[in-house]
């Protein structure tokens, strides 16, 4: 019933999109125009198409609708009771649907050049074109703005993503919410099995994750599938939430709690066991080294991935060489900063290791130590907020919470990450840090981490877009990695420009180490996927260059293994923003306003770097015209 219902909804919205696209040429330029110069009929048709596009994507991905905090009225169906369909058939339907949508977008009469609607349309077309450039490979997972060569891995997949969804995003405010929770639990075994089957299907076509990835997945699945059901996180979470809904009777509360325990015991735990067993079996047939060059047409896939995460025409070889040059330059800067701070013995990497090992840099591996570290980061976020007024015309109202990754997600979560506030305003943005190993977080590294993830980094970017960009729902669903992570790394440099390290010389060394790490990522990612580096070769390179612990760098290499090209977006995006700022400063001279520049960057929302460049050029060009 679930499959039939979502498929029917998809067909309705896709058919509406095609019909709308066929009707678009009927618009004429004689119609009254809006403030941007677009004929109103065309503006309405473009808006309708973007609404249909959003509904199509959300019909396909009910979990995304939940994470975005949308309402049933906005999405068009009761999405909170469904999981996203992960079957092979759904994968194939998605590509057909997106090709139809891409055609509808291409056939749409264009709004006035330079208008907000033109930007929206251009950004969506680029996202769909990029998705198709990776979809054509026929394996893995491909979304709008993001892609993975493998169906699931050690960081994602139903076996990880659904528990994350249920414990962080699924609402239990009403009795119906609680029933929907149970409905999603009932669908979880099929979701896990669908991905398990797809992993086998891809493997038969020569697309299989390396053995060390598969073994890691087996460990994670075994941990998530541990009994007894009564203490499983999916059961404990529901138990803790069932007291909330006022319209839930005590009898139904007990019934739902019992259903959850029985589902976990009888269906979900066995699904995890099947998944873990099959990952171990697949590992015996898998390659022992990383690199998508091993896949059918793997070099072409990597080229498409790099272009998707950076810009068209990018060269892996050029990025590899660029990364090496930047590593040398940053190593020299860190050498000088360490010498000034009194660290003079050993290589730069050895001195960074020695700095991290100082007793005063460590937070105890205790509850008190974790509380102290989180409080230190909150103070750093407040410090950034106090200094940010001169860098952006108006600070956003949306707040950010800083907290630790839940214990049950530590083994599958990245070291730190930011999640935007939901659209319904029920929660702030959230910055989560993985505190499984407290030695990962010496004090001198925390400032730059906070500035990247909160202010002036991801939280500022996300909150400004939500509050001021006035983006249609279709655009809110797409996050451009080069723009978003580029801003995050640019924010680290902006913090230095703002003087946030002026009274914190060790914190500035942490900033330079972060920059060194971003540059070294260029070398490692391209090394793995184009230069055919071994896993250990990549780990040794990162460890010897950055001075960071080997286990952390091993986790980074495993991340690049399953997410080719994404790591390059950080440096490339930052550099493009810096280049645009320098260009605007040269053109405008003393009239250059850095806060106004940041408003142009942020208020347009996530978009490809070439569109971002056009926006900045239009901004400073208009100022030049006014002054002539």
616, two tokens: 């900045």
Per DSSP bridges, beta strands 400-404 and 416-419 are unpaired
Q: Where does residue 425 fall: left (phi above 0), alpha (psi -120 to 50 degrees), or beta otherwise?
A: left
Q: What's the rounded Cα separation, in Å, for the pair 10 and 218?
A: 34
Residue 400 sits at φ, ψ, to 5 deg, of: -130, 135
Closest CA to 97 of 64, 52, 67: 52
Q: Where are the alpha helices (DSSP H) in 205-315?
A: 211-224, 233-241, 250-263, 269-283, 298-309
Residue 25 has pLDDT above 50, yes or no: no
d(CA 107, CA 212) in angstroms, rounded, equals: 46
The residues near 312 (Cβ < 8 Å, ≥ 6 apart) are 610
Counting every residue, how long is the chain?
Answer: 628
**Is 50 exceeded by the pLDDT of residue 58?**
yes
Tens-digit pLDDT profile for residues 420-461: 999 888 899 999 999 999 999 999 999 999 999 999 999 999
Q: Is the pLDDT of residue 48 over 60?
A: yes
Q: Mean pLDDT lowest for which of 29-33, 58-62, 245-249, 615-619?
A: 29-33
Check residue 358 and give its pLDDT.
97
| pLDDT at 117 exceeding the cut of 80 | yes
CA 494 – CA 488 distance, rounded (Å): 10
Please check the confidence at residue 12 and state whether its pLDDT lies above 80: no
| pLDDT reading at 21 higher than 80 | no
Check if the beta carbon of residue 293 is closer than 8 Å to that of residue 529: yes
Tokens, residue 280: 């171990």
CA dist., res. 377 & res. 267, Å (int): 41
- 284: Cα separation from own chain's centroid: 31
Distance CA 386, CA 397 (A): 14
Per the structure block, which two tokens stand in for 83? 């999981």
Q: Helix, strand or coil for residue 170?
A: coil
Residue 409: the pLDDT is 86
- Residue with the bigger pLDDT between 11 and 282: it is 282
| Mean of per-residue pLDDT scores for the chain | 94
Q: For residue 332, is pLDDT > 90?
A: yes
User: What pLDDT does residue 414 have?
Assistant: 87
Find, among 124, 93, 132, the residue nearest to 108 by Cα.
124
3-state secondary structure of 551: helix
pLDDT in tens, 345-369: 999 999 999 999 999 999 999 999 9
Given a cut of 70, whether residue 2 has pLDDT beyond it is no
Q: Of 66, 63, 70, 53, nearest to 128 (Cα)?
A: 53
With cut-offs at 50, 70 and 90, classify the pLDDT of residue 10. very low
With a pLDDT cut of 70, the percent of the chain lying above it is 95
Specify the DSSP element, H or E, that contains 147: strand 147-148
Nearest to 109 by CA among 159, 55, 48, 164: 48
Tell me: pLDDT of 33 over 90.
Answer: no
pLDDT band of residue 28 (cuts 50, 70, 90) is very low
Beta strand 141-142 with 147-148: parallel, antiparallel or unpaired? antiparallel
How far apart CA 564 and CA 528 sit, in angstroms, is: 9
pLDDT value at position 8?
47
pLDDT for 600 equals 97
The DSSP result for 24-49, as a single string, is GGG--TTS-B-TTS-BHHHHHHHHHH
Q: Report whether pLDDT(4) > 80.
A: no
Counting runs of H as helices and runs of E as strands, what totals does the chain give?
26, 5
List CB contacts of 57: < 8 A, sequence separation 6 or more: 64, 144, 474, 477
Q: Are 208 and 287 in contact (CB under 8 A)?
A: yes
Q: What is the tens place of the pLDDT at every residue in 550-577?
A: 999 999 999 999 999 999 999 999 999 9
For the chain, give the percent of residues with pLDDT over 90: 90
Q: What is the predicted pLDDT for the residue at 323?
A: 98
Q: Based on C-alpha coordinates, what's the Rg of the chain?
A: 25
Residue of 497, 427, 486 whose CA lies nearest to 457: 486
Distance CA(472)–CA(111), nearest Å, equals 15
Contact by Cβ (8 Å): 428, 401: yes
């Amino acid at each position: 019933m679930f499959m039939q219902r979502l498929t029917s909804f998809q067909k309705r919205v896709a058919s509406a999109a095609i019909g709308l696209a066929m009707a678009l040429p009927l618009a004429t330029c004689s119609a009254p125009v809006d403030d941007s110069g677009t004929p109103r009929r065309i503006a309405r048709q473009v808006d309708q198409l973007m609404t249909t596009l959003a509904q199509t994507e959300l019909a396909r991905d009910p979990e995304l609708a939940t994470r975005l905090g949308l309402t049933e009225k906005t999405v068009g169906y009761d999405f909170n009771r469904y999981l996203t369909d992960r079957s092979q058939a759904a994968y194939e339907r998605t590509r057909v649907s997106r090709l139809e949508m891409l055609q509808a977008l291409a056939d749409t009469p264009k709004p006035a050049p330079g208008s907000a609607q033109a930007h929206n349309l251009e950004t969506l077309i680029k996202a769909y074109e990029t998705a198709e450039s990776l979809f054509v490979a026929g394996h893995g997972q491909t979304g709008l703005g993001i892609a993975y060569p493998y169906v699931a891995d050690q960081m994602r997949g139903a076996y990880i993503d659904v528990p994350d969804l249920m414990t962080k995003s699924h609402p239990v405010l009403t009795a119906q919410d609680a029933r929907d929770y149970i409905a999603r639990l009932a669908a979880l075994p099929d979701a896990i099995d669908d991905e398990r089957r797809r992993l086998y299907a891809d493997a038969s076509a020569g697309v299989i994750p390396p053995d060390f990835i598969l073994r890691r997945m087996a460990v994670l699945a075994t941990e998530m599938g541990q009994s007894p059901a009564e203490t499983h996180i999916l059961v404990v979470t529901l138990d803790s939430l069932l007291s909330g809904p006022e319209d839930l009777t005590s009898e139904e509360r007990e019934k739902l709690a019992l259903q959850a325990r029985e589902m976990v015991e009888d269906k979900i735990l066995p699904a995890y066991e099947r998944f873990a067993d099959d990952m171990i079996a697949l590992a015996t047939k898998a390659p022992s080294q990383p690199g998508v060059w091993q896949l059918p047409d793997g070099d072409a896939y990597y080229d498409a991935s790099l272009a998707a995460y950076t810009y068209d025409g990018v060269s892996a070889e050029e990025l590899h060489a660029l990364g090496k040059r930047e590593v040398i330059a940053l190593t020299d800067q860190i050498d000088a900063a360490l010498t000034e701070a009194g660290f003079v013995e050993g290589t730069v990497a050895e001195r960074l290791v020695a700095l991290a090992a100082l007793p005063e840099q460590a937070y105890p591996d205790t509850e008190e130590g974790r509380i102290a570290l989180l409080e230190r980061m909150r103070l750093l976020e407040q410090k950034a907020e106090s200094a940010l007024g001169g860098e952006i015309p108006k600070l956003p109202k949306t707040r950010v919470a800083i907290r630790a990754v839940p214990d049950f997600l530590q083994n599958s979560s990245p070291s730190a990450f930011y999640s935007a506030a939901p659209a319904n305003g029920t929660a702030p943005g959230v910055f989560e840090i993985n505190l499984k190993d407290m030695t990962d977080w010496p004090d001198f590294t925390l400032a730059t981490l906070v500035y990247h993830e909160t202010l002036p980094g991801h939280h500022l970017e996300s909150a400004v877009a939500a509050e001021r960009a006035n983006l249609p729902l279709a655009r809110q669903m797409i996050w451009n990695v080069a723009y978003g992570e580029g801003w995050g790394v640019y924010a680290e440099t902006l913090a230095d420009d703002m003087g946030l390290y002026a009274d914190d010389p060790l914190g500035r060394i942490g900033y330079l180490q972060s920059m060194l790490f971003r540059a070294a990522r260029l070398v490692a990612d391209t090394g793995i996927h184009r230069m055919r580096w071994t896993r250990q070769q990549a780990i040794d390179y990162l460890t010897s260059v950055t001075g960071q612990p080997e286990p952390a760098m091993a986790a980074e290499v495993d991340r690049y293994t399953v997410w080719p090209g994404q790591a390059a977006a950080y440096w490339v995006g930052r550099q493009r923003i810096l280049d645009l700022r320098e260009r605007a400063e040269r053109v405008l001279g003393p009239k250059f306003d850095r806060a106004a520049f940041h408003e142009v960057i942020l208020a347009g929302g996530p978009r490809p770097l070439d569109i971002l460049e056009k926006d900045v050029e239009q901004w400073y060009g208009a100022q030049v015209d006014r002054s002539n």
